[in-house]
Amino acid sequence: MGSIKHRMTRYIASASSIKSGCFNLNPLKLGPLFPPFSFSHSQSSITLPRSSFKKLSIVSAMDVSVAEPSKELPVGLDSTMVEEYDSLSKLLLQFTSIPSINKAWVFKSNTGKDSKAMFSINQSNLLANKSRKSLISASIRKDGNKPINFEWSPFPLELSGVALMVPSPSGSKLLMVRNPENDSPTKLEIWGPSALEKEFHIPQSTHGSVYSDGWFEGVSWNSDETLIAYVAEEPSPPKPMFNTFGLKSESSSDKDCNSWKALGDWEEGWGETYVNKRRPTLFVLNVDSGEVRAVEGIKNSLSVGQAVWAPSPKVSQQKLIFVGWSSDSRKLGMKYCYNRPCAMYAACSPFNELAGDDADHRCNKDSGVVILTQGINSAFSPMFSPDGKFLIFLSAKASIDSGAHSATNSLHRIDWPTDGNLNLSSKIVDVVPVVMCPGDSCFPGLYCSSFLTNPWLSDGRTVILSSIWGSTQVILSVDILSGYVLRLTPHDSTSSWNLLSLDEDNIIAICSSPVEVPEIKYGLLHKESSTSASWSWQDVSGLAFKCSKEVESLLSPLQFSIMKVPVRDGSEGASKPIEAIFVSAKREKSDSCNPLIVVLHGGPHSVATTGFSKSLAFLSSIGYNLLIVNYRGSLGFGEEALQSLPGKIGCQDVGDVLTAIDYAIDLKLVDPTKITVLGGSHGGFLTTHLIGQAPEKFAAAAARNPVCNLASMVSTSDIPDWCFVESYGIEGIAHFTSAPTKEHLSVLYDKSPIAHINKVKTPTIFLIGAKDLRVPSSNGLQYAQALKERGVEVKIFVFPEDNHAIDKPQSDFESFLNIGVWFKKYCK
């Protein structure tokens, strides 16, 4: 054991001698770059847990006399890389620490003129490897013609363990949801202006965690604030218990060391990010009594979400409107997949009998759950107008009809009966239809999936929302009676704008760009007449997304533009120029070009906007230009351009990217010998296709959870239908099967990057999430191993606890740190 101790000392001494910010982040949890310490002794090995790091440090300090200087380095590092890791990790830490605002709520002030606002802030907590949530408040002062003034509280307050916050309609109460750990109860807290007023502990026998995923999620107060509807996991079904004598005749909640609980039947879930989540079910809390009841009449085959209370003339006739997804057949992945059929339903409140009206006037539970949207195969995000006369909702009918996982959405309206009696033959009115082929600079269609809790202007007919417009995110107003759509954010702005909240008829938003950290903006409505209005935008001072002076100095010399890149073929809607966001340092014509990173979004039916990205800003700041390509098939350019891609993946999208690169080269913006490429998911599909189809083009590549072999992915992914639709086009809906034929597999293989693997020369780094259900880790690992067999230089990082997004703070940090180092190694 003496030799083991000696080698232990040498390893700790060498590791602690490296002065790198990323290495010192968390000595107790160093992450995948550092495997657990392992030392060989004869034929055995000893693996030391990371929790013993401090203990080992003490041993090494006591054993200096026997320790010899060592040049051993952590796995994956050589002496030439240490300094690079040191400087880049310190800089990346500064970008990672930039906070972001994800929600805001505005309340009327007692004075009537001013308002009060709360902002929810997220910030990466690298040591804990999760997001840190906090809350900061502000008073919004409105003094005549003077600029709006935000008076901020001195500090934000951290929200620990809070899954959801939902203010009541009057703004006098706040619901906080704290989801359980292990078998503990869910906690529902009702807060007043100065103190906690009520607290309810809901046991696991009633329901599991409340959904806070932004999709099934749906928490709604009723109008008199006595009932709260919400979506939570159904209670776990009883499982058989066994002991040494066989099956236990009675189940027990008490822990018994002489028995164990069987797993029971496999429960199918909704795929990526929904692992071990039970069926989303609708519940109602009675705030006065603390009683919780499930809404009756909902079939077990229906997963529900997005609940809202319907306006009702009588308390005893209260109804809930919600969205339901049927799972009579196989459940396919739900995350980012809007091509899952869904409908809007109505059901009675489970507490209507407590209202005191005669039974004849109560909502009839025996009539069951009623489908409101029989005539359309997709209906979600229900929202009532302030006067209760209209129910609006979004639809992804274009996605379902075509099979594309995301497409151009439409907005619809149902005229709601004032007496509360449902008319199942109510007409569904098209408010904003799908835009097929937008004109130049014209509205390209709706690309949003939800509304604010209160998105209405005071006229009761205008709704405000965020949507994609080309390569930017904008804020729109929609008149739900006329269908008139107006862009509210400046037409000359190439930044991206995200709607946070309304302050009566004014707007609070976030504005950012690839080279500018997000800033809060206040939009003022100027009514010019009864039929026309304009908007002006003000900077909000006092609270900024603080970044270090070093980050500020690195971003200040950068610039960006949206390039229009001509394409060679396609139908009318698919023959218009594509867009690419070009981020670069300001330079004289005689200066040499910085190395280029071609950045490719996933989907493929997603979009890269001009909004601020900490990861991409980090890469820009270390000396790289970025070419962020929105190839045909991206959102924000009309439905015809989007639908031009399915059936042509690996060809049209690859061609668009190469066209954009050549276009930038022709403009003398790019040194053709210093081009790298980075993409994740379908962006990784394009990355690995590009290094196979254009092997001389790229100096280095980085692929995050890439799709490399559709023929193997189709049998392991949570979205096998995606493989068929993107490979075959709309005919893929008919081809889709859980038992693909040899012919199917041949087509899928030929569409895949692995079909070109023998031509690849480009050094490539792979970032893989071990818990990815969307593109299982075997896909990227197979491709990486095949490259190694062929002598191509490869580096692989596998993150054991990450899924498809690789978004755990430590994993995201290590990913982009190593991407930066990899590109610098091959593209100086």
For every residue of 71-126, which 3-state class applies, written as one string?
Answer: CCCCCCCCHHHHHHHHHHHHHHHHHHCCCEEEEEEEEECCCCCCEEEEEEEEEEEC
Does residue 772 carry a catalytic annotation? yes
DSSP three-state, residue 174: strand
Nearest to 811 by CA among 30, 19, 28, 100: 30
Tell me how far apart the alpha carbons of residues 699 and 695 are, in angstroms, rounded to a whole number: 9
Tokens 């809930």, located at residue: 320
Does the CA dihedral 598-603-604-609 come out positive or negative? negative
- Buried b / exposed e over 175-199, threshold 16 CB at 10 Å, is bbbbbbeeeebbbbbbbeeeeeeee
Catalytic residue among 124, 327, 513, 681: 681
Tell me how far apart the alpha carbons of residues 828 and 823 are, in angstroms, rounded to a whole number: 8
Tell me how far apart the alpha carbons of residues 650 and 646 are, in angstroms, rounded to a whole number: 10
Range list of β-strands (E), 315-417? 319-326, 343-348, 370-371, 380-384, 390-395, 410-415
CB–CB of 226/287 below 8 Å? Answer: yes
Alpha helices in 216-336 (DSSP H): none
Tell me how far apart the alpha carbons of residues 507 and 505 are, in angstroms, rounded to a whole number: 7
Tell me how far apart the alpha carbons of residues 178 and 210 are, in angstroms, rounded to a whole number: 8
Tell me how far apart the alpha carbons of residues 624 and 820 are, in angstroms, rounded to a whole number: 10
Catalytic residue among 718, 772, 802, 812: 772
Catalytic residue among 405, 601, 605, 804: 804
Tokens 């006591």, located at residue: 62
Tell me how far apart the alpha carbons of residues 706 and 597 are, in angstroms, rounded to a whole number: 17
- Kindly state the tokens that stand for 489: 């954010």
Starting at the earlier edge strand, list the strands of the sheet with 578-585.
Answer: 558-565, 578-585, 625-630, 596-600, 675-680, 700-704, 764-769, 794-799
Q: What is the CA radius of gyration of the chain?
A: 28
- Kindly state the tokens that stand for 14: 């060498």
Does residue 681 carry a catalytic annotation? yes
Residues in the chain: 828
Between CA 37 and CA 752, with CA 705 as vertex, the angle to 5 degrees is 135
* Residues that are catalytic: 681, 772, 804
